[in-house]
Structure 1
Amino acid sequence: MSDLLGVTTERLAVIGNISRDLTRYPDHRGGTRLGGGALLLSLAAAKAGRRAAPVCVLGNDLAHLPEAPELSALDWSARTQADGKSTAFDLEYDLQGELVGVGTNYGVAEELTDHALRHMDLHPRDTYHVCCRRPLDVAAVLGRLAGNAADFSVDFFLPSAEAMIRATARWLPKATTVFVNAAEYRLLEQAIDCATLPEVVITDGPRAAVVRRFGHQVASAVPPPRSPREVSGAGDALAGTFLARRWQGATTAQALAEATAAAADYVAAPPLPIPAPRRG
């Protein structure tokens, strides 16, 4: 356990959405799949050896997920269920894997902020990762975490990143790690002095990912080449792996190399199907 991340508990609680996603590409890749930062980041962390719990709200349509054998590695005790439909995203990408259009129905995730605040009050010793994406009230959540002196990390989603970064800027220097892509980092630089941030992980698709600590680059890694099948969620795979490996004591360079490899493997793998409910 590094002195940068401090003393933490075994469990990583990931605040965010679990969603039904439809991804579309000009070459007819894509389709319906299971997604959402809370799920994909938690799965990556669990695969890398850390106990991970999605702090999420499931609708009636995804209430069966905790029973799915393929998701049994997760700690489902931090989820709640609400009457209604789960979050749904329609994600359109170009051939380079850049997001060009988003359609959203937040569904029961409108209740996520209240659920997350309750969870934080009940479990102040958890380590937290916050997926700073709508409809979460990120100012309320990060304000509570900072007030509790909790260990937390954050990431963003480009379509809402500018607003979310500005809403969270005052608390970001208290985050152990901020995860952004190259475009989000430019927005981050406009909102805050990045030299005040303990750790920023910056990804850039197939190009080198870097780690900056208080403004100084301390590590870089080029993802191994893979033929992409699905790019949505690659950042979650990287962040979950990086956090798990750092918690286990890996150096920054080791964690980044493994995290970029995990993200590359993720984009080359088949999308995660939505499991069918059990019969009987």
Structure 2
Amino acid sequence: MDRLAVIGNISRDRTRYPDRRGGDFLGGGALHIALAAARAGVTAAPVSVVGGDLAHIPADSLLIDVDWSALHVAAGPSGAFTIDYDVDGHLVAVTAEYGVSEGLTGHALAHIARHPRDRYHVCCRRPLDVPVVLRTLTRCAARFSIDFFLPSATQLIPAAAPWLSHADVIFTNAVEHRLLEQVMRRTATEQNPSAEQTTSVLRSVVVTDGARPVRWFRHGRLQESCTPPDARPVEVTGAGDTLAGHLLARTLHGDSPAAALRSAVHAATRHTAAPRPVPGPA
């Protein structure tokens, strides 16, 4: 079975809610996705750069399912994010200190050059140079999926547009999906003023929407939908990443789309119910 190489950040995260939920966690898209995929039974490696302050996480007994062979430890502080939510878990603001993750693009390109046959997932989030990475993956005919992060989606979805049709799966939330449709419509019009196609050129798009049904589109047509179980979330950070990692893993295992989506939605719900959803030191 293919190794899933997840290009993205591993960081120190601090979440804050008006009702005093939240706290300090080990986080980052690459960690959440790789951990969810590993727990679902595939080999998953974060392609990430951390500082000496997080150099010890591969030894954490609660993270042993993850393949740490693609982790690079650099001199300096790891990335750190402070994430503010409203009481319903909607994102309000993010403050970022990227630290040594500024070197992520170079590390990712080196990994792709050594392992072009890995199955890739790209967390399209700063400080990664998304166009360079997606262009490289497309040129070497690598299989890849991608996701976005709302605070940077307005800039990074258009930047990724030339390579979106090459992605096996694109993961978005509802707001990002609307941005994606706008970008695809504008791109199609620029290429052919009479064109009516929008997201139909995209192979597969999974859209999360809080407590509302998760929708899975294929070439612009709704193929699967699954409503999350009724549960009050404790910590929402990483829920979408958990769904993505689990879904990718179950797809690699050969599950049907309906079964893979149902399993992934339940995994994300379990993630939100845990007060400390990702183990390991913060």
Indicate the TM-score class for this superposition, using the shorter chain for normalisation. over 0.9
1:197 maps to what in 2?
Answer: 202
In the TM superposition, what are the counterparts of 1:238-249 in structure 2 within 5 Å? Answer: 238-249=243-254
CA displacement 1:89-127 (0-9 Å, x = unmatched): 000000111000111000000000000000000000000
CA distance in 2, matches of 1:24, 1:270: 13
CA distance in 1, matches of 2:261, 2:280: 29
**8 Å CA contact 1:22, 1:90 repeated in 2:** yes
CA displacement 1:206-229 (0-9 Å, x = unmatched): 110010000000000001112211
**8 Å CA contact 1:246, 1:255 repeated in 2:** yes
- Structure 2: runs of 5 or more not aligned: 185-197
**8 Å CA contact 1:16, 1:38 repeated in 2:** yes
Letter in 2 for 1:134: R
- From 94, 101, 109, the equivalent of 2:101 is 109
Q: Percentage identity across aligned positions?
A: 56
TM-score (norm 1): 0.94
- From 70, 79, 82, the equivalent of 2:71 is 79
CA distance in 1, matches of 2:59, 2:88: 36
- From 245, 262, 279, the equivalent of 1:257 is 262
1:135 maps to what in 2?
Answer: 127
The alignment yields a C-alpha RMSD, in angstroms, of 0.9
CA displacement 1:218-248 (0-9 Å, x = unmatched): 0000011122110010001000010000111
- Quick check: 1:33 aligned with 2:38? no
In the TM superposition, what are the counterparts of 1:51-70 in structure 2 within 5 Å? Answer: 51-70=43-62
Letter in 1 for 2:206: V
- From 93, 103, 124, the equivalent of 2:116 is 124
TM-score (norm 2): 0.94
Letter in 2 for 1:49: G
Letter in 2 for 1:143: R
CA distance in 1, matches of 2:270, 2:238: 12
- Quick check: 1:229 aligned with 2:234? yes
